[in-house]
Amino acid sequence: MKGIDLEIAPGERLALVGESGSGKSLTASAILGLLPAPLRVTAGTVRFQGTDLAGLSRKERRKGLGARIGCVFQDYRGSFSPYHTVGSQLVEALRTARPMKRKQAKQMALDSLEQVGLPAERAYASYSFQLSGGQLQRAALACVLLLRPELLIADEPTTALDIVSGRSVMQLMLDIQRQTGCGILLISHDLNLVLDWADRAAVMRKGRLVEEGPCDVLRTSASHPYTQELLAACPSLDDALHRHEGGHVHEAHC
C-alpha cells in the first residue's frame, strides 16, 4: 500500500471506503500497530496528537494509548474472551486504564451497558456466546463509552449484523461521539451508507487512495470514476431498510 494520507480531527467522522481487498483493514492495522507478520510499515508516519506511533513498542502503545484509541471490529465475538463474563471484561478494561475500586468500576460498566440499550444486569453477567451479534457489538461500544477514547477505529462494525442492528450500531456511534467528542475512523465497503453518516470520506482502491473529500461534495460531484462506480453500485442503508420494511423505517433495537 502506498500514498495513504489521512487526517482525523477531534470530533470528526472520516470514512475509509473501498472494495474488498483494497487495503482498508490493513490501513487500520497499521495505525494500531497490529499488522500481522511479516507485514510492516516501511515508510511514512502515523501520528496521534503529535506522538509518532511507529516509534513505540507494542507494550508502550498498550500502556500509553490503550484507552486513548478504541476499536470495534466486524468480528464482534473477537472483542470478548469467551472465558470471562462481559461485565468482568469491561471492569478489567476500565481498571487497567484508570485505577479505581472494583465496585465503582462495576457501577460504571452497568451504566454504560444501560446507555447502549442493553439489559445491563443480564449483559454484565453474560458470556460473549450468550449474547447476539448486535448485543455484543453494543457491549463493545459500551466499552468504548466507558474508556472514552479520543479516537475510535471501527472496522466494518455492521457488516456481520442484520440491517436493523447495523443501523442501531451506526446511531450508537454517533451518540458516543456526541458524548465523548472522539474522532471516528469508520471502515466500510458501502459508500452510500457512510455518505449519510460521515463528515468526510476517503476512497481506496488497490492499496491507494483515489479520492478524498467532504461527503456532501462526493455525493454530488465525485471526480474519480471508481468513486462514481461505488456510488452507482451500493444501495444506501436507508434505501435497503425501506425495501426491507416495506417502506417503513422502524426504530432499531438489537
- CB 189 → ligand ATP: shortest distance, Å? 5
Residue 94 CB partners (closer than 8 Å, separation 6+): 100, 105, 108, 109, 146, 147
For strands 69-73 and 151-155, give the pairing. parallel
CB-nearer residue toward ligand ATP: 46 or 94? 46
Q: Which of residues 183-212 bind ligand ATP (CB under 6 A)?
A: 189
Residue 244 half-sphere exposure, CB side, CA atoms within 13 Å?
15
Say whether residue 39 binds ligand ATP (CB under 6 A).
yes
Q: Shortest approach of ligand ATP to residue 226 CB, angstroms?
A: 13
Closest distance of CB 25 from ligand ATP, Å: 3
- Beta bridge partners, 152, equal 70, 184
* Minimum distance of ligand ATP from residue 157's CB (angstroms): 12
d(CA 38, CA 26): 12
218 and 34 Cβ atoms separated by less than 8 Å: no
Determine if 158 is a binding residue for ligand ATP (CB under 6 A). Answer: no
Beta bridge partners, 148, equal none
Cβ(186)–Cβ(197) below 8 Å? yes
Q: Is residue 22 close enough to count as binding ligand ATP by CB under 6 A?
A: yes
**Contact flag: residue 23 with ligand ATP (CB under 6 A):** yes
Decide: is 24 part of the binding site for ligand ATP (CB under 6 A): yes
Told to check if 217 binds ligand ATP by CB under 6 A, we report no
Run of H or E residues at 185: strand 183-188
Among 11, 12, 25, 162, binds ligand ATP (CB under 6 A): 25
Contact with ligand ATP (CB under 6 A) among 4, 8, 15, 18 = 18
Binding region for ligand ATP (CB under 6 A) = 18, 20-26, 36, 39, 189
